[in-house]
């Protein structure tokens, strides 16, 4: 080439180069603009990630941005886990020409994902997962280079764009589960994605069978399709997936056997096919020796557990309950691994309990209830300090219970009921500081109860019935202040019934029948504020029936077959109680002919009793423990001075606001005519002060424990209750009821709250005080209550877990704006909060999250479940439990059973809500379904719930028409516009 030509070429190249540079820099300034658009769109986020996103900075230097090698154009945007909120402007972002990675996972991004997303055609990585988007996922068929696609758990609905996957053959990760997609058969496009490693399709409405073609996805390491509507058998072709590490098939309708060839999956570490209809035996499992977790509970599996499981070196979790398995557990089970958990309950297993499951000191739960196990409880479990749950009931175990079992330092429940076990409860029990429940009924246990039992201060249920215990019940038993249920019946106990039981202020159920107790019935038993059932029949008890027992609260009172004498208290002297007092020849009655008439002598006694009863019937207006004090109050005028000094002595007012009322105003309001509610934790009274202010006063029942603690441990501990109340009273939120102060006495506690005139949501939805709440109002209540709970969970220094979220704890002010009530109560009531999780089941039937059943762990997600139930009440207008759901079925079950098609879903909505709002109600129903997910981890946080609810706001236009119409006649007429 001539020099001239060369020069020309050079010039031309130079020209092109200049042009190119100009082009690049113009792209860069566009890129800046696109990114600043994104920053603006997400301006409401609470994040610092955008601090570096300034026009005076280089785009490639923005946090979360990576540029290509030339350092001039944006290649990756990674803003995962940045607390982002708002809607992504895909029209702008997808103009970034070199964009290959877009990662927005784990944020609070909302709104719909527009068709513009498809313009991001060079993407290899797209993560929109774990957000709160709405609407469907658009067509993404341009993204044929995609390797990673995450859209899981992000609020998407409609139909997934399956056909977009057709040419996405490079895909390695496809994660689309936990979305509310329309039901669809297993998508055939997925079977062509031969490079897939990771396929997550759990909980996204997939029906039909798993196709044989699944066997072509030979690179799969993880395959999850749990919680769908899968039917048919597990295809035998699954055995070709030899790289599988995790296989999750649980909660479907799978039938048939574990397929022959499953044994080839020798890399499998996590296998869960629980809650299906699988049958046949476990012989294919025996080769899967890398298993860490095997969960096949709730199936119809039979045959024996392969002995090879005892040789698995990594097995930590074996959960096979509710099947029809027979034979023995492998004797060496768990001995070679850090074995942690076994639940093989409700099978037909026999033989001995394998002795070495806790060999590595890691075991937390040993659950083998309801089988045919024989032999002794291996002594090795005495040293298993990690055990929290030891449940071996309903077997045929024999021999002496190893004494160390009683002293396991972390045990929460010891359940050895209905076996053939011997020995006694040993003094080791002093170490069982976390033990909440002992179930030992129907064994041959004997000996005296050791006084050390009173050191196991977390105990709330003790059932020792149908054994051979003897001697006196330790007088210190009253130190078990958390006790709710005490069953000592059908033993050989003697001596007096300990008076100290009156300190167990939570006792609801006492059964001491069929023993040899003697002496008088302690009158204090009748003062137990929540006692519901008292059975002292078939003992040697003598003396009179204490008048304190005449309270009508008892649903069961049985004092029959004792040696009681004297007049039956007047209010119990009715035919209905005949059986309760039978077999006591010394008893007499003026009214009931079944008993002999009282002589004039005993009539004297009876009139003394009558005075006591009058006093009590005043007192029944009051909480019983106030009795002495209020009887006193009656005479206030005569003995004013004395009364005042009693008041000053007895009550300690903790006030946190300038109160504007005095304790007397509050105390005087505690009477029956002011009673406005009864709840699990106490009665609520309305107090109208002289200055016209109204307050609500709640009495907490088991205050005895607080008081006791105080007495024993001095000043330092005494402040625990106060601190708790102080924390709660410092909570300020428009959707949380204000706590003004607490009034504490030696015997009881009052909490003073603001008074809300419109009662509870429960009343307004379900009772005679029902209002025809329109959807806008219901929606307002849902959002407000959600914000209140969000504040309790996320807005306070430490999260406040409510533990009893329900519509009767959502109160309404004069404008029907909601406020959360009774928050944190469970914690106050249960003063021993040394442990993170609580043993007492707080909560109300129909609202209780399923995890309570097996773990008793309470956290924020349990509140989220209960809130989901409240949302269901708002949408359907139904109660959490109704007979139409079927026996033992609740609203969550009922709603889920109607998610078949649009028609059945719409049929769930309260018929009083006009059609126009039906779509809006369905949005809220979807949130309710998410909140009530079976697995706590799948439930959104309250923060997310609030965001999702805000997205579900009813159409604005409609609301304007309706508000405008306030002066008009019929709302329904105008809604038609
Ligand atoms: C990159 O950003 C940092 C922090 O914002 C800044 O200090 C630095 O000067 C920037 N570098 C360039 C090349 O813009
Ligand atoms: C996939 O590729 C084939 C062949 O090029 C083409 O006909 C088809 O339209 C593509 N599918 C999609 C969804 O792009
Ligand atoms: C799954 O099984 C249950 C109980 O037998 C049944 O009610 C339900 O309709 C089944 N679902 C499907 C998708 O087959």
Sequence ranges of the binding site for ATP:
698
pLDDT tens-digit readout, 359-386: 999 999 999 999 999 999 999 999 999 9
The model's confidence at residue 963, banded by pLDDT at 50, 70 and 90, is very low
Q: Which atom of ligand 3 is nearest to the CA of 231?
A: 14
pLDDT top residue among 110 and 555 = 110
Does residue 785 carry a pLDDT above 70? yes
The reply to whether ligand 1 has any atom less than 6 angstroms from the CB of 403 is: no
Q: Which ligand number lies closest to the CA of residue 275? A: 3
pLDDT top residue among 232 and 635 = 232
The helix/strand/coil state of 549 is helix
CB 64 within 8 A of CB 49: yes
The model's confidence at residue 751, banded by pLDDT at 50, 70 and 90, is confident
Does residue 961 carry a pLDDT above 70? no
Which residues contact residue 905 at a Cβ distance below 8 angstroms, ignoring those fewer than 6 apart? 898, 899, 922, 925
pLDDT tens-digit readout, 88-118: 999 999 999 999 999 999 999 999 999 999 9
Mean of all residue pLDDT scores within the chain: 82
Q: What is the pLDDT of residue 680?
A: 54
CB 684 within 8 A of CB 696: yes
Q: What is the pLDDT of residue 316?
A: 96
Between the CA of 958 and the centroid of ligand 3 the distance, in Å, is 39
The reply to whether ligand 1 has any atom less than 6 angstroms from the CB of 57 is: yes
Question: Residue 379 — left, alpha, or beta (φ > 0 → left; ψ -120 to 50 → alpha)?
Answer: alpha
Does residue 645 carry a pLDDT above 80? no
Element (H, E) at 766: helix 761-766
Instruction: With CA atoms as reference, report the closest residue to 536 among 573, 553, 561.
Output: 561
The model's confidence at residue 695, banded by pLDDT at 50, 70 and 90, is confident
Q: What is the DSSP string of 845-901?
A: TTT--THHHHT----HHHHHHHHHHHHHHHHH---SS-GGG-TT--HHHHHHHT-SS
Question: Residue 398 — left, alpha, or beta (φ > 0 → left; ψ -120 to 50 → alpha)?
Answer: beta
Show the tokens assigned to 520: 């008088």
Between the CA of 36 and the centroid of ligand 1 the distance, in Å, is 17
Residue nearest ligand 1's atom 5 by CA? 52
Residue nearest ligand 3's atom 8 by CA? 253
Instruction: With CA atoms as reference, report the closest residue to 863 among 851, 881, 880.
Output: 851
Between the CA of 53 and the centroid of ligand 1 the distance, in Å, is 10
Q: Which atom of ligand 2 is nearest to the CA of 164?
A: 13
Least confident of 123-137, 401-415, 825-839: 825-839
Summarize the confidence of residues 467-489 as an average pLDDT. 96
Between the CA of 57 and the centroid of ligand 1 the distance, in Å, is 6
Q: Which residues does residue 73 pair with via DSSP β-bridges, in sequence order?
A: none
Does residue 613 carry a pLDDT above 60? no
Residue nearest ligand 2's atom 1 by CA? 167
The reply to whether ligand 1 has any atom less than 6 angstroms from the CB of 58 is: yes
- CA 953 vs CA 663, 780, 785, 977: distances in Å: 44, 9, 15, 19
The model's confidence at residue 638, banded by pLDDT at 50, 70 and 90, is very low
The helix/strand/coil state of 494 is strand
> What distance in Å separates the CA atoms of residue 459 and residue 601, rounded to the nearest whole number?
45
Least confident of 28-32, 394-398, 786-790, 948-952: 28-32
Q: What is the pLDDT of residue 733?
A: 86
pLDDT tens-digit readout, 184-214: 999 999 999 999 999 999 999 999 999 999 9
DSSP-derived letter for residue 931 is: H
pLDDT top residue among 678 and 539 = 539
Least confident of 11-25, 125-139, 557-571, 631-645: 631-645
Does residue 642 carry a pLDDT above 50? no
Q: What is the pLDDT of residue 405?
A: 97
CB 674 within 8 A of CB 687: yes
Task: Name the one residue in this structure whose structure tokens are 């309706």.
Answer: 962
Does residue 421 carry a pLDDT above 90? yes
Class of the 1-182 domain?
alpha beta
Show the tokens assigned to 669: 């309001």
Q: Which residues line ligand 3 (CB under 6 A)?
A: 207, 229, 231, 253
Does residue 955 carry a pLDDT above 50? yes
Residue nearest ligand 3's atom 7 by CA? 897
Pocket test for ligand 1, best of 61, 64, 66 (most atoms within 8 A of CB): 61
> What distance in Å separates the CA atoms of residue 534 and residue 521, rounded to the nearest whole number?
11
pLDDT top residue among 531 and 92 = 92
Residue nearest ligand 1's atom 4 by CA? 52
Q: Which atom of ligand 2 is nearest to the CA of 167?
A: 1
Pocket test for ligand 2, best of 161, 164, 166, 189 (most atoms within 8 A of CB): 166
Percent of the chain with pLDDT over 70: 81
pLDDT tens-digit readout, 828-878: 544 333 333 333 445 677 888 776 654 555 678 889 999 999 999 999 999
**Three-state SS sequence of 785-808:** HHHHHHHHHHHCCCCCCCCCCCHH
Show the tokens assigned to 252: 């479907």
pLDDT tens-digit readout, 438-474: 999 999 999 999 999 999 999 999 999 999 999 999 9
Between the CA of 27 and the centroid of ligand 1 the distance, in Å, is 20
Q: Which atom of ligand 1 is nearest to the CA of 58?
A: 14
Q: What is the pLDDT of residue 755?
A: 86
The model's confidence at residue 425, banded by pLDDT at 50, 70 and 90, is very high
Q: What is the pLDDT of residue 914?
A: 86
Length of the chain: 977
Q: What is the pLDDT of residue 648?
A: 36
CB 334 within 8 A of CB 309: no
Number of other CB atoms surrounding residue 217 within 10 Å: 23
Instruction: With CA atoms as reference, report the closest residue to 266 among 290, 241, 246, 282.
Output: 290
Q: What is the pLDDT of residue 551?
A: 64
Q: Determine how β-strand 206-208 pairs with β-strand 184-185.
A: parallel
The model's confidence at residue 723, banded by pLDDT at 50, 70 and 90, is low
Sequence ranges of the binding site:
698
Q: Which ligand number lies closest to the CA of residue 65? A: 1
CA torsion, points 406, 407, 408, 409, in degrees to nearest 10? 140
Summarize the confidence of residues 712-734 as an average pLDDT. 60
Pocket test for ligand 1, best of 51, 52, 55, 57 (most atoms within 8 A of CB): 57
The model's confidence at residue 714, banded by pLDDT at 50, 70 and 90, is very low
DSSP-derived letter for residue 704 is: H
User: b/e for 522-549, b at 16 or more Cβ within 10 A?
Assistant: bbbbbbbbbbbebbbbbbebebbbbbbb
CB 418 within 8 A of CB 394: yes
> What distance in Å separates the CA atoms of residue 551 and residue 61, rounded to the nearest whole number?
76
Q: Which residues line ligand 2 (CB under 6 A)?
A: 141, 163-164, 166-167
Pocket test for ligand 3, best of 205, 209, 229, 253 (most atoms within 8 A of CB): 253
The reply to whether ligand 1 has any atom less than 6 angstroms from the CB of 61 is: yes
The helix/strand/coil state of 106 is coil
> What distance in Å separates the CA atoms of residue 176 and residue 552, rounded to the nearest whole number?
58
The reply to whether ligand 1 has any atom less than 6 angstroms from the CB of 52 is: yes
Q: Which ligand number lies closest to the CA of residue 168? A: 2
> What distance in Å separates the CA atoms of residue 90 and residue 139, rounded to the nearest whole number?
13
Q: Which atom of ligand 3 is nearest to the CA of 207?
A: 13
Q: Which atom of ligand 3 is nearest to the CA of 230?
A: 13
Does residue 761 carry a pLDDT above 60? yes
pLDDT tens-digit readout, 71-82: 889 999 999 999
Residue nearest ligand 3's atom 6 by CA? 253
Residue nearest ligand 3's atom 5 by CA? 253
Q: What is the pLDDT of residue 157?
A: 93
> What distance in Å separates the CA atoms of residue 692 and residue 523, rounded to the nearest whole number?
40
CB 382 within 8 A of CB 404: yes
Between the CA of 901 and the centroid of ligand 3 the distance, in Å, is 14
Report the largest interatomic distance among the alpha carbons of the chain, rounded to a whole angstrom. Answer: 144
CATH number of 761-977: 1.10.510.10
Q: Which residues does residue 470 pair with via DSSP β-bridges, in sequence order?
A: 492
Task: Name the one residue in this structure whose structure tokens are 């004494």.
Answer: 403
CB 426 within 8 A of CB 448: no
Q: What is the pLDDT of residue 16?
A: 47
Between the CA of 253 and the centroid of ligand 3 the distance, in Å, is 6
Q: Which atom of ligand 1 is nearest to the CA of 52?
A: 5
Q: What is the DSSP string of 315-341?
A: --EEE--SSEEEEEPPTTTTTTTT--E
Q: What is the pLDDT of residue 827?
A: 60
CB 708 within 8 A of CB 503: yes
Q: What is the pLDDT of residue 622?
A: 28
Q: Which residues does residue 148 pair with via DSSP β-bridges, in sequence order?
A: 125, 173
CA angle 646, 649, 655 (to 5 degrees): 115
Number of other CB atoms surrounding residue 932 within 10 Å: 26
635-755: CATH homologous superfamily?
Answer: Phosphorylase Kinase; domain 1 (3.30.200.20)
DSSP-derived letter for residue 260 is: T
Does residue 131 carry a pLDDT above 80? yes
> What distance in Å separates the CA atoms of residue 160 and residue 204, rounded to the nearest whole number?
10
Q: Which ligand number lies closest to the CA of residue 232? A: 3
The model's confidence at residue 553, banded by pLDDT at 50, 70 and 90, is low
Catalytic residue, candidates 343, 704, 763, 804 = 804
pTM to 2 decimals? 0.65
Which residues contact residue 287 at a Cβ distance below 8 angstroms, ignoring those fewer than 6 apart? 263, 264, 266, 308
Pocket test for ligand 2, best of 140, 144, 167 (most atoms within 8 A of CB): 167
The helix/strand/coil state of 780 is helix
Summarize the confidence of residues 269-274 as an average pLDDT. 96
SS3 content of the chain, % helix, strand, coil (to 5): 35, 20, 45
Q: What is the pLDDT of residue 658?
A: 35
DSSP-derived letter for residue 550 is: G
Active site residue 56: no
The reply to whether ligand 1 has any atom less than 6 angstroms from the CB of 80 is: no
Element (H, E) at 6: helix 3-41
CB 124 within 8 A of CB 100: yes
Q: Of 288-302, 551-565, 791-805, which one has max mean pLDDT?
A: 288-302
Q: What is the pLDDT of residue 799?
A: 80
Element (H, E) at 954: none
Domain positions in the chain: 1-182, 635-755, 761-977
Does residue 44 carry a pLDDT above 50? yes
Residue nearest ligand 2's atom 6 by CA? 167
Q: Determine how β-strand 694-700 pairs with β-strand 749-754.
A: antiparallel
Residue nearest ligand 2's atom 4 by CA? 167
Q: Which atom of ligand 2 is nearest to the CA of 144?
A: 14
Q: Which ligand number lies closest to the CA of residue 144? A: 2
Between the CA of 62 and the centroid of ligand 1 the distance, in Å, is 8
Task: Name the one residue in this structure whose structure tokens are 């005080």.
Answer: 769
């Amino acid at each position: 080439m001539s020099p001239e030509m060369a020069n020309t070429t050079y010039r031309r190249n130079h020209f092109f180069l200049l042009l190119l540079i100009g082009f690049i820099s113009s792209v860069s300034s566009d890129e800046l603009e696109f990114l600043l658009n994104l920053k603006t769109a997400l301006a409401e986020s609470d994040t610092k990630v955008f601090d570096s996103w300034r026009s005076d900075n280089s785009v490639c230097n923005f946090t979360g941005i990576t540029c290509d090698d030339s350092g001039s154009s944006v290649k990756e945007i990674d803003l995962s886990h940045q607390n982002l909120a708002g809607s992504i402007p895909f029209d702008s972002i997808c103009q970034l020409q070199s964009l290959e990675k877009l990662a927005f996972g784990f944020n609070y991004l909302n709104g719909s994902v527009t068709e513009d997303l498809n313009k991001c055609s060079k993407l290899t990585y797209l993560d929109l997962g774990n957000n709160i988007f709405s609407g469907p996922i658009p067509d993404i068929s341009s993204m044929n280079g995609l390797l990673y696609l995450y859209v899981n758990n992000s609020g998407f609905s409609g139909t997934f764009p399956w056909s977009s996957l057709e040419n996405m053959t490079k895909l390695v990760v496809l994660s689309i589960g936990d979305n509310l997609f329309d039901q669809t058969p297993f998508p055939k496009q997925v079977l062509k994605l031969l490079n897939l490693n990771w396929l997550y399709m759990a909980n996204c409405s997939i029906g039909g069978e798993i196709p044989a073609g699944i066997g072509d996805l030979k690179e799969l390491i993880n395959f999850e399709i749990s919680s769908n509507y899968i039917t048919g058998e597990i295809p035998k072709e699954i055995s070709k997936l030899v790289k599988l590490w995790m296989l999750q098939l649980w909660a479907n309708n799978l039938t048939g056997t574990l397929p022959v060839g499953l044994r080839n999956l020798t890399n499998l570490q996590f296998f869960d096919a629980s809650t299906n209809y699988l049958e046949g035996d476990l012989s294919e499992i025996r080769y899967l020796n890398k298993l860490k977790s095997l969960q096949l509970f709730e199936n119809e599996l039979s045959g024996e557990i392969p002995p090879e499981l005892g040789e698995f070196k990594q097995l930590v979790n074996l959960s096979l309950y509710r099947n029809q398995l027979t034979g023995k557990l492998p004797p060496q089970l768990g001995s070679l691994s850090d074995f942690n958990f076994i639940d093989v309950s409700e099978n037909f297993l026999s033989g001995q309990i394998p002795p070495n499951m806790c060999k590595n000191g890691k075991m937390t739960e040993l659950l083998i209830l309801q089988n045919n196990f024989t032999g002794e409880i291996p002594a090795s479990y005495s040293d298993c300090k990690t055990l929290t749950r030891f449940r071996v009931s309903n077997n045929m175990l024999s021999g002496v219970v190893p004494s160390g079992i009683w002293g396991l330092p972390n045990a929460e429940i010891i359940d050895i009921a209905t076996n053939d076990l011997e020995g006694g409860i040993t003094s080791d029990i002093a170490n069982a500081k976390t033990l909440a429940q002992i179930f030992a009924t129907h064994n041959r246990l004997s000996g005296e109860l050791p006084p050390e039992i009173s050191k196991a201060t977390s105990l709330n249920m003790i059932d020792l019935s149908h054994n051979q215990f003897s001697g006196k019940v330790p007088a210190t038993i009253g130190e078990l202040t958390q006790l709710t249920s005490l069953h000592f019946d059908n033993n050989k106990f003697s001596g007096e019934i300990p008076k100290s039981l009156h300190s167990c202020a939570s006792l609801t159920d006492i059964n001491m029948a069929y023993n040899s107790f003697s002496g008088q019935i302690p009158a204090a038993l009748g003062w137990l504020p929540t006692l519901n059932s008292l059975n002292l029949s078939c003992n040697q008890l003598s003396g009179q029936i204490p008048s304190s027992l005449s309270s009508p609260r008892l649903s069961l009172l049985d004092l029959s077959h004792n040696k009681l004498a004297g007049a039956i208290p007047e209010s119990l002297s009715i035919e209905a109680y005949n059986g309760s007092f039978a077999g006591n020849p010394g008893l007499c009655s003026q009214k009931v002919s079944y008993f002999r008439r009282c002589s004039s002598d005993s009539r004297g006694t009876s009139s003394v009793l009558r005075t006591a009863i009058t006093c009590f019937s005043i007192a029944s207006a009051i909480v019983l423990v106030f009795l002495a004090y209020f009887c006193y109050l009656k005479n206030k005028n005569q003995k004013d001075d004395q009364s005042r000094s009693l008041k000053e002595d007895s009550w300690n007012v903790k006030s946190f606001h300038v109160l504007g009322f005095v304790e007397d105003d509050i105390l005087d309001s505690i009477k029956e005519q002011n009673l406005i509610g009864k709840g699990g934790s106490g009665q609520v009274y309305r107090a109208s002060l002289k200055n016209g202010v109204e307050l609500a006063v709640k009495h907490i029942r088991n205050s005895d424990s607080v008081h006791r603690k105080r007495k024993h441990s001095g000043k330092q501990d005494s402040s625990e209750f106060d601190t708790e109340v102080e924390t709660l009273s410092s909570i300020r939120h428009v959707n949380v009821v204000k706590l003004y102060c607490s009034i504490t006495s030696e015997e009881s506690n009052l909490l003073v709250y603001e008074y809300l005139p419109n009662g509870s949501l429960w009343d307004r939805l379900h009772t005679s005080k029902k209002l025809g709440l329109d959807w806008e109002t219901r929606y307002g209540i849902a959002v407000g209550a959600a914000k209140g709970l969000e504040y309790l969970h996320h807005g306070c220094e430490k999260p406040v877990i409510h533990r009893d979220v329900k519509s009767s704890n959502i109160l309404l002010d004069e404008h029907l704006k909601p406020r959360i009530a009774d928050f944190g109560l469970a914690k106050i009531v249960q003063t021993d909060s040394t442990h993170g999780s609580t043993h007492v089941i707080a909560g109300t039937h129909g609202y209780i999250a399923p995890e309570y059943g097996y773990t008793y762990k309470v956290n924020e997600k349990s509140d989220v479940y209960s809130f989901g139930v409240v949302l269901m009440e708002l949408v359907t207008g139904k109660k959490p439990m109704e007979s139409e759901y079927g026996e033992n079925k609740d609203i969550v079950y009922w709603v889920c059973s109607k998610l078949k098609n649009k028609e059945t879903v719409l049929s769930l909505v309260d018929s009083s809500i006009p059609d126009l709002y039906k779509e809006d109600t369905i949005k809220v129903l979807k949130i309710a379904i998410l909140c009530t997910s079976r697995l706590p981890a799948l439930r959104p946080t309250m923060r997310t719930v609030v965001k999702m609810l805000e997205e579900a706001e009813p159409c604005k236009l409609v609301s304007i028409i309706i508000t405008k119409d306030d002066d008009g006649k019929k709302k329904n007429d105008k809604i038609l516009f």
